[in-house]
Structure 1
Amino acid sequence: MADTTTLPRRGWLARLGAQEDLNFLLTNRVPRIALTQAMGRFSRIESRWLTRLSIAVWRLFTPLDLSEAQRTEFRSLKDCFTRELKPGSRPFDTRPDILCSPSDGIVGACGVVQRGQVFQAKGSPYAMADLFGPTQDASVFEGGRFITLRLTSAMYHRFHAPADGTVEHVTYLSGDTWNVNPVALARVERLFCRNERAVLRMRLATGEPLALVPVAAILVASIRLHFLDVLLHLGRRGANEMPCSATQAKGQEMGWFEHGSTIIVFAPPGFELAPGVQTGTQLRAGQPLLRRVS
């Protein structure tokens, strides 16, 4: 009896492992940057029929729901990726002790920053100094919380201010475009530190520092911020430093990805995960992410 119950399970695990290998091969063992740049050009083609066809193909692979979108007709695939929602679709928790999720997303690794290290997946640490780049001091987040939010391609791709505050500095770091799905995170060391990303340093209205790190991925190589008149993309090499003073109200739209990717949130000591937030939790922008410990 024991043998007959374990054999199917082993077969299922083998099939799952084969699927993960295929996923990793198809999305990472390809010319990622060239494919991403080509996708960027394709997504900007303004053609109603081509856009409808692309969305129909997209829906074969992902549960794309456009019922909340302000518009259901799009000029281009990019127009669909970066769609706005109907007013009131993402209400933000107004309690002053709550930091809200800046975007829709699935909670990945989360926990406490210890000795300047955090995790992209179980057993796969990376240094905050590598993520933030050579010009930024991340020590203020030692002992604080980090949460990784993964956006799938079908999700709403815009992100918002998690609380009232001011964006004081943006560092843009060009990089690779590895896929950021769980398979790649478990296999590619320091993946977030290799990919294109922006580090948004905020000062909350209550005085605490906060950091949001949008990380791009394969097919996603542009990040737009409303308060900077520049499109952040792979052509900007090196660490690009952009001091600013952009006041943000809780829930105010900050920018968007042009497909889907990851946002990592860093809060200083004094915050804890909001009730129900753990690895695997799916959140919408505006729902409680962290709460201030009284």
Structure 2
Amino acid sequence: MKRTLFKYFVELTGNPVSSSLLKSFTTSRLSQPLVRPFSTVYHINEEEMEYPLHHYKSLQAFFTRQLQEGRRQIDDSPNTMISPVDGVLSGMGQIDASQTFLIKDHQYRLDEIMGTDKQASPYKDGFYFIFYLSPSHYHHFHYPMTGELISRYALGGVSYPVNNLGLRLGQSPFSTNHRLISEVQTPYGKMAIVKVGALNVNSIQILNASKECVKGNAFGHFSFGSTVILFVENHPDFTPTVHLNTEVKVGQPVGEWIQQ
């Protein structure tokens, strides 16, 4: 029962009015008594948090907590791509020539997610990775590779949940949710980092507008439920290094460009 209640708080609902009310509650001090039970229900590792539980004055403040410095080891090999988030790798594969691929029993076109065929074209025949962040996860996102930010834009007006229920029942949730896309030029080609927000509220927070992207550096966080999709430009030497449906952490290699 508690777990179901907390999921409503952090993933919101399909109704904009109730979502607004839930947001107001979770960001207020009225929600502070729920911080400890939330931590207990989701087995949060309190030893790695930046501050002790009593520091967080609202449920959302706790949900968006940072980690102690050094708690995530960043693989600094120049030819590896790291996970941008703590989460579950719920989807992965090569994008076929017709720009469609299967995610949670739904077919999605690359151009729908990226906005236009022109924006999607660099990633044709490339790779995709989908990371689902549950309420228990650390909700900041980091750069998976070093490079230069070449574009950042927002898409989507209608939102559906990004949890499994939303993926089953929503109408193409990845292409209609509010999402923020960051494209990075890396030494191995382009990479798109697609942050999919929660329902009915702007839940994606960006830390700065710098064009310098440093592998492992945090550049924003989610205020409510979240999913991150990576699109990697096709490269003959690129290969994934993780298995589908595995738990990953920021800094862990998930792909590499094999050096000849």
TM-score interval, normalised by the smaller of the two chains = 0.7 to 0.9
Given that 1:146 and 1:266 are in contact with CA atoms closer than 8 Å, whether structure 2 keeps it comes out as yes
Are 1:254 and 2:219 an aligned pair? yes
- Write the distance in 2 (CA, Å) between the matches of 1:36 and 1:173: 20
- Write the distance in 1 (CA, Å) between the matches of 2:202 and 2:22: 9
Gaps of 5+ in 2: none
**Displacement of 1:78 after TM fit?**
2.1
Given that 1:220 and 1:258 are in contact with CA atoms closer than 8 Å, whether structure 2 keeps it comes out as no
- Write the distance in 1 (CA, Å) between the matches of 2:198 and 2:23: 12
Are 1:35 and 2:18 an aligned pair? yes
Partner of 1:223: 204
- Write the distance in 2 (CA, Å) between the matches of 1:136 and 1:258: 30
Are 1:210 and 2:191 an aligned pair? yes
- Write the distance in 1 (CA, Å) between the matches of 2:205 and 2:149: 14
Given that 1:167 and 1:248 are in contact with CA atoms closer than 8 Å, whether structure 2 keeps it comes out as yes
Partner of 1:171: 153
Identical pairs, percent: 25
Partner of 1:95: 77
SS class of match (2:19): helix
Q: Which amino acid aligns with 1:74?
A: Y
> Residues 292 and 207 of structure 1: is their aligned pair in 2 closer, same or farther, counting only changes over 3 Å?
closer
Q: Where do residues 54-133 of structure 1 align in structure 2 (5 Å cutoff)?
A: 54-59=34-39, 61-72=41-52, 73-114=55-96, 115-121=98-104, 123-133=105-115
Partner of 1:16: none
Q: Which amino acid aligns with 1:103?
A: V
* Equivalent pairs, count: 248
Gaps of 5+ in 1: 1-21, 229-244
Given that 2:179 and 2:196 are in contact with CA atoms closer than 8 Å, whether structure 1 keeps it comes out as yes
Partner of 2:126: 144
Are 1:272 and 2:252 an aligned pair? no
Q: Which amino acid aligns with 1:255?
A: G
**Displacement of 1:65 after TM fit?**
3.0
Q: Which amino acid aligns with 1:34?
A: V
> Residues 43 and 29 of structure 1: is their aligned pair in 2 closer, same or farther, counting only changes over 3 Å?
closer
- Write the distance in 2 (CA, Å) between the matches of 1:59 and 1:83: 12
Are 1:285 and 2:236 an aligned pair? no
- Write the distance in 1 (CA, Å) between the matches of 2:200 and 2:220: 18
* TM-score of the pair, normalised by structure 2: 0.86
Given that 1:43 and 1:77 are in contact with CA atoms closer than 8 Å, whether structure 2 keeps it comes out as yes
With 213-222 and 79-88 compared, the bigger mean Cα shift is at 213-222
Given that 1:36 and 1:219 are in contact with CA atoms closer than 8 Å, whether structure 2 keeps it comes out as yes
**Displacement of 1:176 after TM fit?**
3.1
| Greater radius of gyration (CA) | 1
**Displacement of 1:261 after TM fit?**
1.0
Given that 2:12 and 2:224 are in contact with CA atoms closer than 8 Å, whether structure 1 keeps it comes out as no
Given that 1:32 and 1:178 are in contact with CA atoms closer than 8 Å, whether structure 2 keeps it comes out as no
**Displacement of 1:137 after TM fit?**
1.4
Are 1:153 and 2:120 an aligned pair? no
SS class of match (1:179): coil
RMSD of the TM alignment (CA)?
A: 2.5
SS class of match (1:67): helix
> Residues 108 and 257 of structure 1: is their aligned pair in 2 closer, same or farther, counting only changes over 3 Å?
same
